[in-house]
């Protein structure tokens, strides 16, 4: 009887967390950013590594969005400007951060770090796709728990609930 109660309890948790997870994870297929930024140009044509702009992905809990200073470290030296670069320069002159729109968000009860995944040897493209061909902010393929668990199984990573749910 006790075994069945434990099994029912665990299945109930999976049902509740799974339902909340699928309903509360947010991924916006198309967001309008304050500056049209092309990953295809920067990561693709110019071959700038992800970590150059997203400096803290391998050492912190969250991946950082580039600061205006980081953008200007390259753009200051460019002689040619475009309308989008003019927008960047305006933020620089006003000493304001670019109000980038976050294209996706995980629910609060999901614990995820880019740091842990990068240290495990994953490449950004494994979750975000062919970033070098994208003109918009790359999103992960999905945030369904089954997708993450499939990857964990394939790589022999922990499948303990507490690894990702805090």
| Segment 74-130, tens digit of pLDDT | 999 998 899 999 999 999 999 999 999 887 778 888 888 888 898 899 988 888 888
Domain count, the chain: 1
Range of the domain at 122: 32-65+100-164
| Segment 133-162, tens digit of pLDDT | 988 777 776 778 898 999 999 999 999 999
Averaged confidence pLDDT in the chain? 82
* 65 contacts 99 by C-beta, under 8 angstroms: no
Evaluate whether residue 92 is within a structural domain. no
The pTM score is 0.72
Number of other residues whose CB lies within 10 A of the CB of residue 43:
22
Evaluate whether residue 128 is within a structural domain. yes
Evaluate whether residue 90 is within a structural domain. no
Evaluate whether residue 79 is within a structural domain. no
Evaluate whether residue 50 is within a structural domain. yes
Evaluate whether residue 121 is within a structural domain. yes
Cα dihedral 102/86/82/29 (nearest 10): 10
Nearest to 144 by CA among 132, 136, 152: 152
């Amino acid at each position: 009887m006790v075994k069945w109660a434990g099994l029912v309890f665990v299945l109930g948790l999976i049902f509740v967390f799974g339902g909340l997870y699928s309903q509360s994870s947010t991924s916006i297929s198309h967001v309008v950013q304050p500056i049209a930024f092309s990953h295809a140009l920067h990561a693709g044509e110019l071959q700038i590594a992800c970590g150059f702009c997203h400096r803290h992905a391998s050492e912190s809990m969250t991946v950082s969005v580039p600061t205006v200073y980081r953008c200007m470290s390259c753009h200051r030296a460019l002689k040619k400007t475009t309308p989008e670069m003019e927008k960047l320069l305006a933020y620089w002159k006003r000493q304001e951060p670019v109000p980038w729109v976050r294209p996706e968000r995980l629910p609060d009860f999901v614990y995820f770090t880019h740091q842990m995944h990068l240290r495990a040897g994953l490449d950004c493209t494994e979750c975000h796709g062919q970033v070098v061909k994208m003109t918009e902010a790359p999103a992960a393929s999905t945030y369904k728990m089954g997708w993450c668990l499939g990857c964990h199984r394939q790589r022999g990573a922990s499948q303990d609930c507490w690894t990702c749910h805090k």
